Amino acid sequence: MSRVPEVLPLLGVIASPAAPLAELESEVHAELFETGLATPTLPFDFTDYYEAEMGAGLVRRWHAATSLLPADRLPALKEASIQLESRWSEAGLRRVNVDPGYISETQLLLATTKPLPAAVYLRDGLFAVVELLYYGAAFRELPWTYPDYAAAAARGWFEPFRILFLKLRKEAAP
């Protein structure tokens, strides 16, 4: 039996301007994983998909964990993120969208509840989809990559996350 690979968990957060990000991030640390590296808080203007539920003026931020976790923990992280989103809802509408995923040596992968064409079923109505591949010394988008992940600036922000992954993996090697 092979060992489950360790990966660097990451979290994509889209939030309503009314959602206090510092408070949300504190809950993320307590319930999902301790985060270290984070991108700046950016306007989320790649799509209006969330506006009907969460309002206008949304912001986006990505966080990377401070330590590696086994890749098979992804479904549990997604379940915890769904509970977190529910607690942050008002009148049945989300104020935050919290999507866990991970970075490995060759990919950035996200957990989702959407049975997208490129998604692979994990368990209990949860799926995973590779959003970016790492080759040729850079993250590369795929035909189905979400526009905010495909943006050149975002792919650059994931580079320090991958460097952290490689550093932590090296430190953990026997």
For the segment 88-126, what is each residue's pLDDT rounded down to a tens digit?
898 889 999 999 999 999 999 999 999 999 999 999 999
Domain residue spans of the chain: 6-169
Give, in order, the Cα–Cα distances in Å from 1 to each of 4, 7, 121.
9, 19, 21
pLDDT band at 24 (very low <50, low <70, confident <90, very high): confident
Query: What is the CATH architecture of 6-169?
Result: 2-Layer Sandwich (3.30)
Angle at which helix 21-31 crosses helix 74-87, to 10 degrees, equals: 140
Task: Tell me how far apart the alpha carbons of residues 98 and 144 are, in angstroms, rounded to a whole number.
Answer: 19
What pLDDT score does 23 carry? 85
For the segment 53-69, what is each residue's pLDDT rounded down to a tens digit?
999 999 999 999 999 99
Run of H or E including 29: helix 21-31
**pTM confidence score:** 0.93
pLDDT of 19 > 70? The answer is yes
